[in-house]
Structure 1
Amino acid sequence: MKLSVVKSLSLGLLTTCITLSVTHAAKSSDENIEVTPTQEVTQQELAAIYVFSEICPKLIKDDGQFQTGYAKLAHEYLPQEQNAVTALKKITQQKNFKSILAEARSDAKKAGDSKNLQICQDVSTYGN
């Protein structure tokens, strides 16, 4: 279940909300993208995760459930951090991260509420 949620979330994050500057290739929504804790986490992924902390509370009703799932997701991407949510917020405030964060916000806006809501719901149930 956990791997399925990670695949689903990662696919949604990577195909609907961020454009990876590393690959410069368009990703098909049918393409499976595997993200596991053993792979190196990109700044684009961290930015996309953070952007959902900004937009999801407005889109879903159960903010407490979202915050719990978000904390688990952040910890999966930043396992070395004691408080991954706080660490992620600090990362997003770094000067060199501003353009990556702006791109993730733009991509999330382009994806629209419907696609973002689906990912927000996945985050809300992450780890359950």
Structure 2
Amino acid sequence: MKNIFVKTLSALSLSAFAFTAGSTFAADEKIEVTPTPKVTSQELAAIYVLSEVCPKLVSDQAKFEQGYAKLAKEYLPNEKAPVAALEKLSKQKSFAKILKEAQADAEKAGDAKNKEICKELTAYAN
């Protein structure tokens, strides 16, 4: 389900990227090394923008908040409070440009496309 959100966000020009994890094998020892995907600032900005856009577009706020929290936890698994971490990040000066780009992309996408993502995120709570 996480990849659906990433693909949808990307399709809506929210600068989210799909993760790819490759495997590398050591020649003689056959040791598998799988790199951990790195979450980009653009992805975090796109996720945060959902918290700004979706509340006015969904009817079940509690389900939205659960889905949003679940998505945030998947992208920030080492954070005790990932939603709060995103909120804090959104206030940092160094993040402002990336956040503004994500907000502009969401605005360009329009309410219909944004509502579709928000509804998926509400269903993601289950």
By how many angstroms is 1:35 displaced? 6.4
SS at match of 1:52: helix
By how many angstroms is 1:19 displaced? 3.6
By how many angstroms is 1:105 displaced? 0.2
The residue that corresponds to 1:102 in the other structure is 100
**Is the Cα contact below 8 Å between 1:10 and 1:35 reproduced in 2?**
no
By how many angstroms is 1:7 displaced? 1.9
Bigger Rg, which one: 2
Q: Report the TM-score, using the length of structure 2 for normalisation.
A: 0.82
Deviations 1:88-108 (A, max 9, x none): 111111111000000000000
- Provide the C-alpha distance between the structure 1 equivalents of 2:70 and 2:123, rounded to a whole number of angstroms: 10
The alignment yields a C-alpha RMSD, in angstroms, of 1.8
- Provide the C-alpha distance between the structure 2 equivalents of 1:35 and 1:66, rounded to a whole number of angstroms: 27
Runs of 4+ with >6 A deviation:
none
The residue that corresponds to 1:18 in the other structure is 14
By how many angstroms is 1:34 displaced? 4.1
By how many angstroms is 1:15 displaced? 1.9
Identify unmatched segments of 5+ residues in structure 1. Answer: 24-32
Identify unmatched segments of 5+ residues in structure 2. Answer: 22-35
The residue that corresponds to 2:3 in the other structure is 7
% identical equivalent positions: 48
- Tell me: higher relative CO, structure 1 or 2? Use CA pairs within 8 A at least 6 residues apart: 1
The residue that corresponds to 2:37 in the other structure is 39
Equivalent pairs, count: 112
Q: Report the TM-score, using the length of structure 1 for normalisation.
A: 0.81
Counterpart residue identity of residue 40, structure 1:
K
Aligned pairs for 1:1-128 (under 5 A) are 5-19=1-15, 33-34=18-19, 38-128=36-126
- Provide the C-alpha distance between the structure 2 equivalents of 1:60 and 1:35, rounded to a whole number of angstroms: 31
- Provide the C-alpha distance between the structure 1 equivalents of 2:20 and 2:103, rounded to a whole number of angstroms: 21
Change in Cα spacing, 1:103 to 1:93, as seen in structure 2 (3 Å) is same
